[in-house]
Homo-oligomer: A and B are copies of this chain.
Amino acid sequence: MGWAEQFEKDTCAIAAAVSVVGDPWTLLILRDAFLGVRRFEDFRRGLGVARSVLAARLKKLVQYGIMRIGADDLSFGRRQYLLTPKGRDLFPILLSLKAWGDVHIYGRGAEPHDSVHTCGCHIDPKFTCAACGGPIEFGDLRVNTRAAKKVGDALAAARAV
């Protein structure tokens, strides 16, 4: 049984999110979308991804309301794929992947892209609690389980199209 079928029986927001965006091509398509790529041909060329793979990933992102097709020109070649607000909310996932890759694969000082915050400083993103402002680190959480939908049912309800 593949991961998708297995994940659907789980009751977990991480499994749900991973089902939608947690594969290598999708994560890099999203990276490029945040960097301003919009057209099928530009995604394809930039990533070196097969057309069929790219088309399937973009279709799924539209299906879940993460991207929408720009209304200015719907002919396939000119069609634009734009991040929705739900898609832009994926930004912390990309940023945390970048932060980890910078520190643990490239190493400090050897990062391919230096990110500068609006404050002028080099970005060193930290998760903080919106309530108290304190840091959120592993071990700072208590997790309470409650009755909830299985991933498969939650995904079906979350589809926009």
List A residues at the B interface (Cβ < 8 Å): 1, 3-4, 6-7, 9, 11-25, 27-28, 31, 34-35, 47-49, 86, 88-107, 110-119, 121-132, 134, 136-138, 140-146, 148-149, 151, 154-155, 158
Contacts and interface: CB of A to CB of B under 8 A. Distances in A.
Scoring A112, A126, A129 by chain B CB atoms within 10 A of each residue's CB, the highest score goes to A112
A129 B123 contact: yes
A4 to B, nearest CB: 8
A35 B136 CA distance: 16
A111 B104 CA distance: 31
Contacts of A90: 100
Contacts of A131: 117, 119, 121-122, 124
